[in-house]
Structure 1
Amino acid sequence: MKSILKGVCIGLFIVTILTAGIYILLGFYYMEGFPCFTWINGVYCTGKNVEEVNRELCRKYKYDGISVVDKNGTKLFVSSDDVNYQVDFTDSLNEFLDKKNPFAWGYYFFHNPVASFDPKVSLDTSLLSGKIANWEIFMPDSELDVTLIRSDDGYILENDLEAVPQMEEIIESVYFSMMEREDEVYLYDIEGCYKSHRLNEEQQKVYDLYMKVDALQNCGLSYDVEGENFDVTKGVVADWIVTEDTYEAAASEKASKKEPGKGLFIINGEECSFPEEVTFDNGIALDENGNVILSESKMYSYLKSISMDHGTAYYMDKYRNGESNMIYVKDNSKGDGLLFEIQSEFDDLISSYLHGSFYEDRTVTLEPSDSVIEYDASDLLGKTYIEINMGEQHLYYYVNGELSMDMPIVTGNVNRSRGTPTGIFNVYNKRYHTNLIGVDYVSYVNYWLGVHKGVGIHDATWRSKFGDEIYKRDGSHGCINCPLDSVEKLWEVVEVGTPVLLYY
């Protein structure tokens, strides 16, 4: 029994000696590297030396560079290679390792050493300065100026002196941003990166002119036509301003009851005729007191164009495309064809400029004129019909929804109150070789299609030209004059009862 006990004791002693030896040997092993189960910034470091861990951490903390954005959105990318950007963890790793006892690895087995360090960052400031100094945003002081420019967005002011980039401050800002490993830096958000320079006398004049122009451009109006919005943008208003290019036409305008706004202008909140003395500044016409000149006729033309774009032809296109069966025709023979009321809106627009009442954005809905008639095209026209667009001075013949033929025409002389009637009618008769008899005329025609009362579609061999605006100065008594060859073909295929749409 004693011998057995003695053997056990010897065995335990040997195991203890061996365990202690192994523990001590492992302690010596960890003297060359990090203790067991050590984690630094998510990297497993056990048994690795400082150089190895530093290399792994540097790979993990790879930094590509920074995108520098100036006030105009111009970007400059500064890569880490451009400035010899370096990261290093050596000092932190050595300090960490010095505090660890390699022979305490047993303790660390149960209490894992975990740490997180920020890298030591360095870059070559001279390389950074050179990179930024070559950026296109920096201009010599001699080239800085204030310029008034006419663009698609109206008149804009390019003021190089308003916010001049400061090179030293920008270099410093980019340096600190790169030291913080940022991917992007917006210079306009950093105080000191931009400074304004004082304008000289000439530059101040340009600035003052822009302020006058921009006050007119910012009217904030929008017109709604059948749910479609037309914003009176700065570009729209800029077209109303009299310039060196439009000066002669504006100066020669004469007031006319038939053409609203003709010969009238708005200058410094007053309605007047064109001034006798005019000067030009940056291409803009100014009166003797340096005030900008607005053309009322240009304003009316803008409103008219909106209404014209939504005329009967617009609704006929929608009908043919299957978008709507409803079409609208203005019941008149004056030839304006405007479905939507614009006179009252024109008067309101003029009043707003005269009284300076553009204070906030507002939308104005253009309403249909009282003389507009609504038709169900599917019921009254169907798919085979004659369409006469008197604004274009053109006739179209559709068969089963497809265009079969078309021709230029001459309609009633609107300047002599002989305008062709508008609306939807039907061919009520066809005549061949007949005389048209009026109060003061007798005209022989080869082909006649009666449309409405004494108005019909016929040839006019006495004419050599058709289309354009002949009808305004040498139009018919109300009929639709057509070229002989074309109307002959139409007469042969059109049946009595065929719908005819006439509109301006």
Structure 2
Amino acid sequence: MNKTTKRLLFAVLILLLFLLTVYFVLALYYREGFSLNTWINGVYCTGKTVEEVNSELLSHTEAPDVVIVDKAGEKYTITLADVDYHADFSSALEAYRQEQNPYLWVDNVLFHSRRTLAPVVTVDEEALRRAYNALDFVQTEQKRIKDYSLTRDAEGAYVFTDGLSDRIDLEKAFLALKQIVENGQETLNLQESGCYYEITPDESQKALRNLWKEIERFQTCDIVYCFGEERHPVTAADCAFFLTAENGLPVQDEKGSFVLDEQAVTAYVQSLAEEYDGYGRTRQFHSTRGDVITIDGGTYGSKMDRKKETAYLLEHLLDPGVHTGTPQSHIPSYEREAFCYGKNDIGDTYIEVDMTEQKMYYYEKGVLKLETEIVTGNMRRRMGTPEGVNFVYNKQKNRVLRGPGYASPVKFWMPVKGGIGIHDAGWRKEFGGDIYQTAGSHGCINTPKDKMEELFDCVQIGTPVVMFY
């Protein structure tokens, strides 16, 4: 072996000895801390002690929110900062440090440099329970009736409370919450954690539930009363009111059909009539002159046939065909018909007779079509034209109006109440003013011929005539 080879071998030996010395020096250096190139939860930990790394990890750790999810997907949140949350990575860090072989630090550099560790979490259990008890679902569950019940709501409709389904074992749910908090988890799914009771109803409970299904169907009534443009549906509360009840529950006959309370149905029709009948109603009318007039009486207005409507309901309420969930319009039967129906049955087409101003107006679909001065009944002779909401019940041409001591031919005649009507008065030269006070008519509404002809051509039989002072 020549000198060159010996020198080369000696140099290699010295280098290997140096590298080996460095390797063991590093191994000894990292023996009390974490090995070279160690990362924990994103923190560089090489050479650091457990205490140092724990302190640094805690500086990056905030108290999380824990979310509780129920079967319906509703979420409820507890902020752990409010329950004295504490985290400590020491035991997990020490266990990991013990795993590391300081003499195999090269292996750590190449293969095992990054690790995620979870802390040991502690909270104040009493504070956690208070926060848990304040959650909406917990309070609802604590107040919940633990059975089936059938009661009436504020409007009178039957309502069913299912106190058996989806009942939550609150203590089990709390223990599950405590467990996930201690495990460092942030979501508790109540269903997946088995926090719901499994309850099988008994026979009486099943019978009550089946009764509710029948009531629910019956209370879904399709009948919608139509009063002109207004709609009045038969509500669930109305349907409940129609049922004969004993001990708070509807009565069923031997066939299983509900028994209707005829008096209740009659009272319902009576209330409808009182609300929507126009005949005999006191009305508030916005006059052309600008004020609101209260008008009683008159011949105008609809009057529901109460007997027929009661019979209609008694016949149809037990028919499954009116409990489908699809609204069905129903126009009631009437003893007296009207030009318009509903609470505002005068509508927007009417004749207005202002006897104080001695003016008459005709509105058609809300548009003023005619305005004229008139002469009404003679006040001095106590023949004043009566107030009220009446209607045009006939139209005739070329009539002779007769009464005690007079016979007056007219071209156009529209009676509105008994022998009182609107007509032309060819014998008059002037209209309006205070003529009616001393030289008025026998009670009719005298109108200039040209205006009367125009009005006669426009007005339909049945048109309301609003007459007031």
After superposition, the C-alpha distances for 1:326-352 in whole angstroms (9 at most, x for unaligned) are: xxxxxxx995799xxx99985763342
**1:150 aligned partner:** 153
CA distance in 2, matches of 1:366, 1:347: 17
Letter of the 1:88 partner, please give it.
D
Letter of the 1:293 partner, please give it.
D
1:183, CA displacement in angstroms? 3.3
CA distance in 1, matches of 2:26, 2:176: 50
**1:45 aligned partner:** 45
Q: What pairs with 1:353-502 in structure 2 (closer than 5 Å)?
A: 357=320, 361=324, 363=326, 365-366=328-329, 389=340, 392-394=344-346, 396=348, 403-404=367-368, 410-412=389-391, 420=393, 458=422, 498=458
CA distance in 2, matches of 1:406, 1:285: 59
Select the structure of larger CA radius of gyration.
Answer: 2
CA distance in 2, matches of 1:108, 1:457: 113
**1:293 aligned partner:** 261
CA distance in 2, matches of 1:75, 1:239: 37
Whether the 8 Å contact between 1:145 and 1:159 is mirrored in structure 2 is yes
CA distance in 2, matches of 1:89, 1:130: 27
CA distance in 2, matches of 1:232, 1:51: 75
CA distance in 1, matches of 2:180, 2:346: 69
1:291, CA displacement in angstroms? 7.2
CA distance in 1, matches of 2:269, 2:147: 40
Q: Describe the shift of the 1:143–1:3 C-alpha distance in structure 2 as closer, same or farther (beyond 3 A).
A: closer
Letter of the 1:102 partner, please give it.
P
After superposition, the C-alpha distances for 1:135-194 in whole angstroms (9 at most, x for unaligned) are: 645769999997834235823356879998765434323323434524355479844669
1:266, CA displacement in angstroms? 6.1
CA distance in 2, matches of 1:106, 1:483: 120
**2:96 aligned partner:** 96
Q: Residue 363 of structure 1: SS of its match in structure 2?
A: coil
**1:183 aligned partner:** 187
1:389, CA displacement in angstroms? 3.2
| TM-score of the pair, normalised by structure 2 | 0.50
**1:218 aligned partner:** 217
1:96, CA displacement in angstroms? 1.7
Q: Residue 156 of structure 1: SS of its match in structure 2?
A: strand
CA distance in 2, matches of 1:67, 1:153: 39
Within the alignment, does 1:113 sit opposite 2:113 as a pair? yes
Whether the 8 Å contact between 1:66 and 1:77 is mirrored in structure 2 is yes
Q: Describe the shift of the 1:450–1:298 C-alpha distance in structure 2 as closer, same or farther (beyond 3 A).
A: same
CA distance in 2, matches of 1:125, 1:162: 30
Gapped regions of structure 2 (runs ≥ 5): 278-299, 333-337, 350-361, 372-386, 424-442, 465-469
1:298, CA displacement in angstroms? 6.7
Letter of the 2:27 partner, please give it.
G
**Which one of the candidate residues 329, 349, 356 is aligned to 2:316?**
349
CA distance in 1, matches of 2:222, 2:153: 22
1:120, CA displacement in angstroms? 3.0
Q: Residue 148 of structure 1: SS of its match in structure 2?
A: strand
Aligned pair count reads 368
Q: Describe the shift of the 1:301–1:457 C-alpha distance in structure 2 as closer, same or farther (beyond 3 A).
A: same
1:100, CA displacement in angstroms? 1.5
CA distance in 1, matches of 2:444, 2:75: 64
CA distance in 1, matches of 2:244, 2:237: 15
Q: Describe the shift of the 1:23–1:142 C-alpha distance in structure 2 as closer, same or farther (beyond 3 A).
A: closer
**Which one of the candidate residues 160, 167, 174 is aligned to 2:177?**
174
Q: Describe the shift of the 1:300–1:93 C-alpha distance in structure 2 as closer, same or farther (beyond 3 A).
A: same
CA distance in 2, matches of 1:52, 1:9: 45
**1:81 aligned partner:** 81
Whether the 8 Å contact between 1:156 and 1:210 is mirrored in structure 2 is no
1:110, CA displacement in angstroms? 2.8
Q: Describe the shift of the 1:409–1:61 C-alpha distance in structure 2 as closer, same or farther (beyond 3 A).
A: farther
Q: Describe the shift of the 1:158–1:224 C-alpha distance in structure 2 as closer, same or farther (beyond 3 A).
A: closer
Whether the 8 Å contact between 2:32 and 2:49 is mirrored in structure 1 is yes
RMSD: 6.8
Q: Residue 236 of structure 2: SS of its match in structure 1?
A: helix
1:29, CA displacement in angstroms? 3.9
CA distance in 2, matches of 1:214, 1:302: 29
After superposition, the C-alpha distances for 1:362-412 in whole angstroms (9 at most, x for unaligned) are: 53654999xxxxxxxxxxxxxxxxx96365442536989865499996345
Q: Residue 151 of structure 1: SS of its match in structure 2?
A: coil
Letter of the 1:37 partner, please give it.
N
Whether the 8 Å contact between 1:174 and 1:185 is mirrored in structure 2 is no
CA distance in 1, matches of 2:409, 2:176: 87
1:93, CA displacement in angstroms? 2.0
Whether the 8 Å contact between 1:299 and 1:346 is mirrored in structure 2 is no
Letter of the 2:317 partner, please give it.
I
CA distance in 2, matches of 1:503, 1:55: 92
CA distance in 2, matches of 1:169, 1:110: 46
Q: Describe the shift of the 1:20–1:210 C-alpha distance in structure 2 as closer, same or farther (beyond 3 A).
A: closer
Q: Residue 239 of structure 1: SS of its match in structure 2?
A: helix
| TM-score of the pair, normalised by structure 1 | 0.47
After superposition, the C-alpha distances for 1:250-278 in whole angstroms (9 at most, x for unaligned) are: xxxxxxxxxxxxxxx7658xxxxxxxxxx
**2:237 aligned partner:** 238
Percent sequence identity is 16
Q: What pairs with 1:292-331 in structure 2 (closer than 5 Å)?
A: 293=261, 295-297=264-266
Letter of the 1:394 partner, please give it.
I
Q: What pairs with 1:256-275 in structure 2 (closer than 5 Å)?
A: 267=244
